[in-house]
Amino acid sequence: MLYGLLGVCSFSLTLPATKAVLTALTPMTAGLGRALVAAILAAAVLLLKRVPFPTWKETKQLILVAAGVVAGFPFFSAWAMNRVPASHGAVIIALLPLATAGAAAFFAGERPARLYWISSGVACLAILGYAVGSGFGTLQWADLALLAAVISAAIGYAVGGQLSRTMGGWQVISWSLVFSFPFLVIPIAGPLIEQLRQATWTAWAGFGYVSVVSQFLGFFAWYHGLAIGGVARVGQTQYLQPFLTILASWLLLSESITLGAVLAAAIVVASVAKGRTASVKQTAR
């Protein structure tokens, strides 16, 4: 749970940092350009550690992870952040724990007990209630993009968490980035370099964060936590992410924070504390 919490804290600054990046970069270069920088770091680590090439079975899973957390989530979330506040995105991203649990049930063969789903449902209702009470109830195209980001990340988390049990979390994200590099370097590298030349220091700082922490180092702790604690149980720590993101948006972007957010956070934390005690059965898949 502590490894999962460390990963969540790392990911909580992603949306505010992306907002800063979008002052200079387009959503395409902001979302996918960070993978190029992270891939270079990943290749260096793999070469330094002299890690053997993955098997064909592992490669197929790594491609699925790359599609979810290297391409899907970064692109869709960046596209949405160009249209709505980071605090708005945080509310929709709060659905990620339930999506991760569903993906874990399908890909990893995990079967959480009823207590887990009850606590997850309570936390989800608290988040949705906060969304409606904050005026986020109107569905926008950005909301659909954020839902696509949620689905992408959930698949990447579930498959990556399962694969981390045999490969190690740092290898999973490193190989996923390396496999993505050839498909991204030609269409993204040129525009990325050109746009970064005109960027302010805040855009550079945001891009550095999403490239090094959000896309690379944060996954070290996150996938390790999923591997040793289970995708469904450790995935519940994600319920804290929207409120950490809202706090970061207030501190870094001067976006508003309300009493409703504090009350919803209290309900979510209590639900997570209760749900983490639920048993999770592992079945063959």
88 near 131, Cβ under 8 Å?
no
Is this model's pTM higher than 0.85 or not? no
d(CA 150, CA 161): 16
- State yes or no: pLDDT of 86 exceeds 90: no
* Nearest residue to 240 (alpha-carbon basis) of 104, 127, 143, 88: 127
Task: Note the pLDDT of residue 144.
Answer: 85
The whole-number average pLDDT for the span 166-172 is 88
134 or 241: which carries more pLDDT confidence? 241
Least trusted range by pLDDT, from 20-29, 95-104, 208-217 = 95-104
Task: Note the pLDDT of residue 75.
Answer: 94
Least trusted range by pLDDT, from 114-123, 149-158, 192-201, 246-255 = 114-123
Band of the pLDDT at 206, cuts 50, 70, 90? very high
Q: Return the SS3 of 111.
A: strand
Task: Note the pLDDT of residue 155.
Answer: 92
- Tens-digit pLDDT profile for residues 8-33: 999 999 999 999 999 999 999 999 99
- State yes or no: pLDDT of 242 exceeds 60: yes
How high is the mean pLDDT of the chain?
Answer: 86
d(CA 89, CA 83): 10
Strands (DSSP E) found in 54-181? 110-112
d(CA 234, CA 47): 30
215 near 74, Cβ under 8 Å?
yes
Band of the pLDDT at 121, cuts 50, 70, 90? confident
d(CA 148, CA 72): 8
d(CA 209, CA 19): 12
Q: What Rg do the C-alpha atoms of the chain give, in angstroms?
A: 18
Band of the pLDDT at 271, cuts 50, 70, 90? confident
The whole-number average pLDDT for the span 94-111 is 77
- State yes or no: pLDDT of 235 exceeds 60: yes
75 or 161: which carries more pLDDT confidence? 75
Range among 16-25, 88-97, 261-270 with highest mean pLDDT value: 16-25
Q: Could you tell me the two tokens for 161?
A: 């968490």
The whole-number average pLDDT for the span 198-224 is 93
Q: Please state whether beta strands 280-282 and 110-112 pair in parallel, antiparallel, or not at all (unpaired).
A: antiparallel
